[in-house]
Structures are given as C-alpha cells and as structure tokens.
Structure 1
Amino acid sequence: MAYGYTYLVLYYLGNYSNDRIQHLKESLSRTLVTFYPFAGIIRDALSADCNDQGLPFSVAKVEARMSDFLQNPNVELMNKFYPRAEKLLGTGDNIMLIQLNCFDCGSIAMSIKFHHLIVDMVSFSTFLQHWAANAQGLGLRFHPLNLIGQSSFPQKPSLPINLLPFCYLSKYLGSGKFVLRRYVFDASALSILKAQTSSFSVSRVNVVTAVIRQCFMEAVTEESARKDMKPIVMTQAVNLRRKAMPPFPDDSFGNLAWFTKSLWSYPKEKELTELLREVKKEIAKIDGEFVRRLGSEGVYDFLEELKNEMPQEATFLAINSWANIGLSEIDFGGGKPVWMSSYIPQSSEVEKGGNFAILLDSKSGGIEAWTTLDEKYVAGFEKNDYIRKYARFNPSVI
C-alpha cells in the first residue's frame, strides 16, 4: 500500500525500427497534451507540479532474442528493463519514466513506471489506450481529463498523516528476504475451480484471490507453529469508479482505489468456498454509501475507526488485481502485447519488504499471480493442494 512507483512491462514481438521508435515518441508527446500530469513532477504529498517539462524516455539494448527470453522468463533480467530505480521518493520526482528495451530480433519490452500517489492502474491503462490510438493514427479528438474524482474527493490538508491508510499499513512491512513466484492459472483450471462454487457467482479474480489467501494463511500458520502467532491482515484493492452511485466514468483520472480488509486473530483452516464468500462479502461493503462517506467530512471518523481496528503487529498480505482493465489490448500498431510483467524489488533495493500479490490477465484467458513472499512462507504456500493441482509455476510464455 506504499505510495511509491508502480511498474509495468509490455512485451511486443516484431521489428521495431528506429523510425517506429521515433513514431512512438512523437505519439507520446501528442498524448501528453491531454494527460499532462504525467509530464510533471511531485510537488508534495497532496499535489503534482504539472510543469510540462516532459518525462524521461530512454532506449536500451538487450543482447538477446525475445523469443528465447519468453521461453524461460528470467526475473533478474526483467528487473533490468526499468529506468533508474530510486530508493527514496519525494519532492521533484518525475511522475512517469519510460524505458524502451530493444532486443536483437527487433522486438521490444516497453517498461514504464509511474507514481502511485497521482494515479492508479486504471488511469494508467486509460493513458496507454490513448497513446496506442494516437500511435495508430486513429485521430482521437482532444478532450480534457475527466477529473470527477478530484471534485468528489476534495483535498483535506487538515487530515492527520497518521490516519492515512498507507501510513499505518506500512508498519506491517519488515526486513528479510522476499522471493518472487509466478503462478499461472489457465482458463480450464479456473473453470474447474469456479464449478466447485456453483451455488453462487464468482469471477476469475475472486477465485485466485481466495486460493492465495488460503495458501498464505496455511503457510503462516505452519511457520508460526509453537510460537506466539501474530494476527493476519489481508487487503485487496478495489476500483471505486464502479462502486460510486452513480458510477464514475471508467476514464475518471486519479488514484481512485480503496481496499478491503480481512483480519484473522486466530487463523483456522478454511474451505475455498467459505473464503470465496468472505472475499465477495468484503468487496460488497465498498458500495455507494461507502464512497459517499469517503468523499464527505465523515472520512475523519471512518479512518479513525479503521485505524483502531488494526492490530499493533500483524502478518500482512496485499493483493492487487490488474486484470480486466485493458492492459492486454494495448496495440501501438504492431499487435497486442504477447506478455506483461511487473517489477519485483530485490532485498538489497528496499529497507523493508512485504507480502504482495499482483493478478494479471494471461494469454489463455486465465490469471497470472505474481507473488513476493517472505522466504519463510514460500515452502508452506506451495504445499497447498490448489496451487499444486491448478497452477503452473513460471511456464513458458510462448
């Protein structure tokens, strides 16, 4: 939940010549006329300086063929695809940085990082869709940013910093070695899992979220055996646009995300169907009245209540879904991406780490779950029958 940079790489097979790369830059410049905050810098914790200075755009050479890389995705190489990675964030940071990684075969890995304080992944996807349309010459008509979020959630400089969720959730981060795992749930596997809950409707994201929760709870319980066990806090990001009444337009610009909260003081074994019901129940709590309260003066009482509910110490897991928001459809004129990935900080790059999962659309119509877990939980996590039976570990992309 820390509000630092968020990272994404889109992988495109093809022959991206110097002329095509120059065309990407020119179409990006046209797109930034509308999405001008991305060309600015961070002013403070509440605002950006939209100074139109532009954004860093670098080009790097990768001495490899993308097809070889995609057959055996390498995390260490993946992390080199990003622009410089600052350890500390603050005033003067660019809101967005882009690096184009050009493989020997002509294919590219477009890596982008943006400041989460300004926008969420939904707004970022909207920006990419407009950039892609401009690159294809579709001639999108200029229109101003949709800033309904800013009017619905006005700034409150008087709000104490210690009430903001990312402040009191960040205390659950800790030191240690955090390990990346990539689990792919194919569409066929998800169909089987969904059929086991035929008594009520669930989505692909619901199912994978419940599986990850079950695996994590079992791993923490096993590792904490014969010890004093801390409570488990699990959160999941929710897009507020579709929760508002009436709903905000999908292109509403900003960081319009909130999170569900699941607190387990005495974890016990849970059936997947039971966990699925709890996931849906938590999401249902974020409704039109909830969004209205966030945008009113009631936010003070709401955040105070939330803070008081949170334990002083806990084992923390945060889940974010980037599925179903159009990222797999971004076509700059040479075809849709064959894959996408996120950045995984290494232990030497962060003072404190945490347990996180990011859910992405897979080519098969399934879900890819990218997890970073404290090393001590990995073995217990992977003992879960649902992971062993229905997920593939880091398979070839092509």
Structure 2
Amino acid sequence: MEMINSLKIEIISTETIKPSSPTPSTHRHHKLSFLDQFAPASYTPLLFFYPGDADHRDRCRKLKESLAETLSRFYLLAGTLVEDYLVECNDEGVAFSEARVSGSLSEVMENPNDVASLHRLLPFHPDAVLERECILGVQYNVFECGGAVIGLCVTHKVVDGTSASMFTKAWASTCRGDSQYPIVPTFDATDLFPAIEIRGNKRQSRMHKMITRRFIFNKSNIAALKNQANSAALFLNQRPPSRVESVSGFLWNRFIALSHQKNPN
C-alpha cells in the first residue's frame, strides 16, 4: 500500500507548554556529562499509537496540563541546549502541536517501512537543526477515523533510551491522575563523568544517508527463545527471563559471536 501521497497533515495549532512551577535559580544551568557531550547529535523519535475514537479536545487538554506538571520535575526538557556541554534551564518550554491527518490510522500501522510518512507525524525531523536547540518537541495527530498518534522528538544529548522511558511513564502517570508515587528523576551524571567545555561545537545536520532494517520476531519465535533461555542452568531457582530479556539476550549473543568472528584474537 502506498501511503506517502495519501497522508496529508495539517497543523491546527502550536502552543508552548512551560513547567507548572518555575525552575529554582540554583538549577538554571546544567552541565552535561562527558558521555552526553559525545552522544549522537540527532533527536530520538518516539511514536505512540492510539486506535479508536476519543474526545480529542479533552485528551489534548489533559496532555498539556499533565505535561506542564511533569516538566516541573523534568525541568531540563523545558530548557535550551546552548552549548554541546550546557543546558540552560530557562523554562522556555516545549512546543506542543496539534495536527489533523487524512486517512486512517491503520494505513500507517500497516506500513511501518514508510519512514518518510512516519517522520511527518513528529514535531520535526529527527536530524533537524533548529533555530532554538530545544530538548523536546511534541505533536498530537488526530486521524479521520478517530485514532491518534503522539509523536515526540527528544535530543539524545540529554535523554537516552532509559531516560525517555522514565519521562513518558511519568507523563502518562500524571495524565491518569496517579500522583501517589510520582516519578522524580535525578540529574547527577555530571558528578560521575564531569563535562569538558568545548565551545563553538554547535550541532550540525550530518546524517545524509541512513539505512534502516527491521527484524521481526513472531509469537512462536519469541516463545522458543524464552523456553531456550529458561532452560539455561544459570536461571535455576531464579525468576525466569521475560520475553524482552530473552530476545535481548539472544541479540547480544549474536553480536558477541559476530565480533569474535571479525576479531579472532
């Protein structure tokens, strides 16, 4: 199914969401860790798919309100990357765009290889060089069928995979009204890996060509890998590996075997 020509997106509105409470003056500047300085300069894209109809106006309101509350804890995400080693926590906020999308959500979900169309559901291209070096961007896409996609772009300079998962869980929890045990991050990587001040090294777009491949593990494949992992003597009298752990372990096993083939010594 060809989707690029049929997927039409219209931005309805864009609003800047700022933290619900201001960042203390003592936290106005945050130096990135040495490891973060040399992290990939691109943005990490995240897409969350929600089939079925909903009251999108009410959902958008809740998403914006809960995002503002969550940003008061994840205040770095509302700041600006002013140097490769420094985030200015100035509460300039996060751009939140609402978009209307032609077609149905199923068209997108049935064409996961159409990366160009998926990128259009994001607030900006993952390799974009923006006028303001924001940390996070959000786009809420509503389809004609009633389904929705929440697209996020977050810079890898500040947020890795684990941190992105923590933030999205915290945002979702706040949006649900689950405030009994709020997720509160710690920004202490610089204490362990102090930054090096390298001025003038601003981010530039350099990913001229990228090749993407998908490896699909169906239900029976995953079950076989899990059974294989559970049978290992290493896990006797312990919690058996989950499906994610079983697949991850299999992939790392293959990576190690491949590296040994390339470097026999």
TM-score by length of 2: 0.66
Deviation at 1:208, TM superposition (A): 3.0
1:46 and 2:89 are equivalent in the alignment: no
Show the counterpart of 1:70.
Answer: 109
Show the counterpart of 1:136.
Answer: 176
Show the counterpart of 2:62.
Answer: 23
Matches within 5 A, 1:1-398: 2-16=40-54, 17-73=56-112, 74-85=114-125, 87=127, 89=129, 92-140=132-180, 145-157=185-197, 178-193=210-225, 203-211=246-254, 262=259, 265=262
Q: How many residues align?
A: 208
Deviation at 1:121, TM superposition (A): 1.4
Q: Distance in 1 between matches of 2:130 and 2:261?
A: 34
Deviation at 1:96, TM superposition (A): 0.4
The one-letter code of the counterpart of 1:192 is A
Q: Distance in 2 between matches of 1:101 and 1:204?
A: 31
Are the aligned partners of 1:134 and 1:140 in contact in 2 as well (CA < 8 Å)?
no
Show the counterpart of 2:242.
Answer: none
The one-letter code of the counterpart of 1:8 is L
The structure-2 alpha-carbon separation of the partners of 1:265 and 1:188, relative to structure 1 and needing over 3 Å to count, comes to: closer
Q: Distance in 2 between matches of 1:94 and 1:174?
A: 19
Show the counterpart of 2:13.
Answer: none
Deviation at 1:13, TM superposition (A): 1.7
Please tell me the root mean square deviation across aligned C-alpha atoms, in Å.
3.3
Q: Distance in 2 between matches of 1:111 and 1:94?
A: 15
Structure 2's unaligned 5+ residue stretches are 1-38, 235-244
Give the 3-state SS of the residue equivalent to 1:20 in structure 2: helix
Q: Distance in 2 between matches of 1:94 and 1:72?
A: 30
Show the counterpart of 2:6.
Answer: none
The one-letter code of the counterpart of 1:7 is P
Q: Distance in 1 between matches of 2:210 and 2:170?
A: 36
Deviation at 1:156, TM superposition (A): 3.7
Deviation at 1:266, TM superposition (A): 6.0
The one-letter code of the counterpart of 1:56 is A
Q: Distance in 2 between matches of 1:193 and 1:141?
A: 35
Q: Distance in 2 between matches of 1:189 and 1:122?
A: 26
TM-score by length of 1: 0.45
Give the 3-state SS of the residue equivalent to 1:61 in structure 2: strand
Are the aligned partners of 1:42 and 1:90 in contact in 2 as well (CA < 8 Å)?
no
1:129-170 CA-partner distances (Å, limit 9, x unpaired): 111111111224668632333322232448xx9xxxxxxxxx
Give the 3-state SS of the residue equivalent to 2:191 in structure 1: helix
Deviation at 1:98, TM superposition (A): 0.7
Deviation at 1:88, TM superposition (A): 5.5
Identical amino acids, percent of aligned pairs: 29
Structure 1's unaligned 5+ residue stretches are 162-172, 218-261, 268-398
Are the aligned partners of 2:105 and 2:143 in contact in 1 as well (CA < 8 Å)?
yes
Give the 3-state SS of the residue equivalent to 1:182 in structure 2: coil
